[in-house]
């Protein structure tokens, strides 16, 4: 396996089960836990940034009259709820796990993010979940993922998407002829204005030379497969080659 330390970005919506109207699908969490167990056994260190979109999105709440900064703090609390639920789901399956929060929280809830602590836990083979996004309004958890990947020196961000298996030149749900990129550079993503990751996240990952791998999180054993490079995916890289299809 190529990577020794990775950061997995899980979206909040990726935890939900819409058909069963569940904000958090514990079968899915169990499935992630079992995959993470074998990843940790392979001596790959794993950090996770969790989103909050299954509960709350700051931009939508702001449209309903809640001041944007406050709406975003509610969003950061939503990521904290997901992080704690994930932690419990992982621990239940004997996967050691810590939650480190960018927001100040009472220590009965979770630990505060301190870089050295995160590194120590990762070296001990524990999963580290970063909650609270960047801790500031107007950002997304995609940006938090690139920020934390840079801070902990992760070699790649594995960005699981719901039912999308990579980056396409146009929306594959609308255009049947859409072409998927195997690899594509950040410059090309920005130039083509492709909406797969937000632009702040893209420019930060580019600056810090971190690969982002986009894949379908709902495919069976997707986390294991993406680390073995045995799944349909797109690698977004800072190498400035023309995007090959």
Nearest distance from C-beta of residue 125 to ligand UDP, angstroms: 26
Cβ proximity to ligand UDP: between 71 and 202 the closer is: 71
Nearest distance from C-beta of residue 224 to ligand UDP, angstroms: 22
Q: What is the sign, positive or negative, of the torsion defined by CA atoms of 173, 174, 177, 181? A: negative
DSSP H/E element including 231: none
Nearest distance from C-beta of residue 225 to ligand UDP, angstroms: 21
Nearest distance from C-beta of residue 68 to ligand UDP, angstroms: 8
Judge contact between 50 and 82, C-beta under 8 A.
yes
Burial class (CB in 10 A: 0-12, 13-18, 19+), 40: middle
Which positions ≥6 away from 17 have C-beta within 8 Å?
A: 25, 27, 28
Q: Which positions lie near ligand UDP, rule CB under 6 A?
A: 11-13, 51-53, 57-58, 71-72, 75-76, 78-79, 133-134, 136-137, 139-141, 144
Cβ proximity to ligand UDP: between 53 and 166 the closer is: 53
Residue with the shortest CB distance to ligand UDP: 51
Cβ proximity to ligand UDP: between 52 and 243 the closer is: 52
Q: If you search the block for the tokens 């704690």, which residue do you land on? A: 84
CA–CA separation, 181 vs 8, rounded Å?
A: 21
Q: If you search the block for the tokens 């079992």, which residue do you land on? A: 34
Cβ proximity to ligand UDP: between 14 and 243 the closer is: 14
Judge contact between 107 and 95, C-beta under 8 A.
no
- Cite the annotated binding site for UMP by residue number: 52, 72, 134-141
- Cite the annotated binding site for ATP by residue number: 9-12, 53, 57, 162, 168, 171
Cβ proximity to ligand UDP: between 133 and 243 the closer is: 133
Nearest distance from C-beta of residue 244 to ligand UDP, angstroms: 28
């Amino acid at each position: 396996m190529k990577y020794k330390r990775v950061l997995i970005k899980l979206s909040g919506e990726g935890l939900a089960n819409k058909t069963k109207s569940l904000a958090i699908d514990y079968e899915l969490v169990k499935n992630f836990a079992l995959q993470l167990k074998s990843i940790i056994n392979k001596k790959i260190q794993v950090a996770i940034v969790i989103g909050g979109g299954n509960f709350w999105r700051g931009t939508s709440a702001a449209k309903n009259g809640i001041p944007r900064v406050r709406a975003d703090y509610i969003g950061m609390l939503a990521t904290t709820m997901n992080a704690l639920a994930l932690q419990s789901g992982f621990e239940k399956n004997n996967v050691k796990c810590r939650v480190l929060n960018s927001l100040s929280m009472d220590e009965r809830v979770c630990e505060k993010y301190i870089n050295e602590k995160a590194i120590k836990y990762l070296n001990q083979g524990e999963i580290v979940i970063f909650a609270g996004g960047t801790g500031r309004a107007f950002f997304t958890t995609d940006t938090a993922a690139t920020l934390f990947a840079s801070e902990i020196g992760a070699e790649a961000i594995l960005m699981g998407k719901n039912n999308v298996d990579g980056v396409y030149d146009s929306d594959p749900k609308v255009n049947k002829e859409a072409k998927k990129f195997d690899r594509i550079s950040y410059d090309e993503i920005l130039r083509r204005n492709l909406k797969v990751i937000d632009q702040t996240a893209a420019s930060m990952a580019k600056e810090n030379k971190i690969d982002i791998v986009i894949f379908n999180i709902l495919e069976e054993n997707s986390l294991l497969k993406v680390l073995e490079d045995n799944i349909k995916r797109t690698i977004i890289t800072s190498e400035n080659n023309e995007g090959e299809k």
